[in-house]
Amino acid sequence: MEDLTLFMVMVGCRPPGRNTEQHDVLFGIAPTIKDMVPQIKKFWPGAGSIHVDAWRKVTHVNGYQVRIRPKSHPDISEKKLYFLNLGGYKPGEFDEFHYKMVVVADNAAGALQLAKKTAFYKHTGFKGASSHIDDKYGVDIDDLHQIKDILPPDQKMLYGLSIEPTDSDTTDALNLGYFPLHKL
């Protein structure tokens, strides 16, 4: 199996009929970010001209190493990889701010506890407009996403994630900016 990596990609576009740029997050598996381009194009049908605003290889998450494994290889890890999208507000700002995070936890409740410890969660909100886990009413754990569940269907059939503790203090590089697909 060639070297495959889990990618987290923030896709941006201005869909027809919208007044502002919209964003969504795609998780996919490929050897390189350039190899993710067909997945990115397929991810948001009807979006119009798509670009990438941020991407990262997901290889190290809060003391764990993440690797791709063939689906035929048994999953021995008890830990799970979660994606959370936190939303919050600031007084006087006409916007909802977001903080996207990936965490390793035993379960959704553990992932939620890690989210509540972030500076974003503690400091982005005020009475009447509290910080929250997006797609929720209040803080609830029903909609936290295990990343393995939101991979493209063809990849879920072929691959799994191996999550192993590591002593490494390595962190994944965040690639930020405006990336037209032909420049990835």
What does pLDDT average to over the chain?
A: 86
Please, are residues 104 and 6 in contact by the beta-carbon 8 Å criterion? no
pLDDT at 138: 41
Q: Strand, coil or helix: what is 51? A: strand
pLDDT-based confidence at residue 154 (cuts at 50, 70, 90) = very high
Residue percentage of the chain with pLDDT more than 70: 85
Is 53 or 141 the better-scoring residue by pLDDT?
A: 53
- 105 lies in which domain range? 5-180
Alpha helices (runs of H) in the chain, residue ranges in sequence order: 37-43, 108-116, 119-123, 147-150, 153-158
If one counts the domains in the chain, the total is 1
Q: Which residues contact 10 (CB under 8 A, 6 or more apart)?
A: 23, 24, 25, 52, 53, 54, 55, 100
Higher model confidence: residue 49 or residue 130?
49
The tokens for 2 are 């060639």
- Between residues 141 and 111, the one the model is more confident about: 111
More confidently predicted of 98 and 5: 5
pLDDT at 105: 94
Q: What is the CATH number of the domain that holds 71?
A: 3.10.20.10
pLDDT(134) > 70: no
What local confidence, expressed as pLDDT, does residue 144 receive? 72
CA 142 to each of CA 134, 147, 164, 176, 182: distance values in angstroms, whole numbers, following the listed order: 11, 14, 25, 30, 37
Of 66-70, 82-86, 132-136, 177-181, where does mean pLDDT reach its minimum?
132-136
Q: Give dist(CA 102, CA 147) in Å, integer.
A: 9
Q: Give residue 139's pLDDT.
A: 37
